[in-house]
Amino acid sequence: MASEIKVLRITTGEDVIAKVDQSSGENVELDKPFVIIPQQLGPGKPIQLMMSLYNAFGKSEKVTLNKDKIVFITDPKDEILKSYEANTSKIITPKSSLITETNIPTLKK
């Protein structure tokens, strides 16, 4: 089975999003895992989701987890998937418009 991006609930109560490879026997390999942390900035305010590296102190971007430590695995919601892909992509997408001839500064003589 190829790696797929999934959300896993761990027995510790953490929700983790990662590229998941389930083909390694009793274990699951997580590539670029992030823990999803819900935060509410105040009473009545909407809950926002923050992502933090799951393996912030390890050298590898991969973590091996025993399958008996997983409560469930599910597909992430589209917004969470896009956020994860933005956090793990090596491609930087510009937020501003492209430079065109009219935007190039000219040198004064």
Q: Cα(9)–Cα(91) distance, rounded to whole angstroms?
A: 28
Q: For 82-101, what is each residue's pLDDT tens digit? A: 999 988 877 655 555 555 55
Segment 37-60 mean pLDDT:
89
29 burial class (0-12, 13-18, 19+ CB within 10 angstroms)? middle
Are 23 and 91 contacting, i.e. CB atoms less than 8 angstroms apart? no
Kindly list the domain boundaries of the chain, sorted by start residue: 4-93
Reduced to 3 states (helix: H, G, I; strand: E, B; else coil), residue 44 is coil
Is the CATH number of domain 4-93 3.40.640.10? no
CB-based contacts of 84, cutoff 8 Å, min separation 6: 5, 17, 34, 51, 76
Are 70 and 90 contacting, i.e. CB atoms less than 8 angstroms apart? no
Q: For 12-33, what is each residue's pLDDT tens digit? A: 999 999 999 877 789 999 999 9
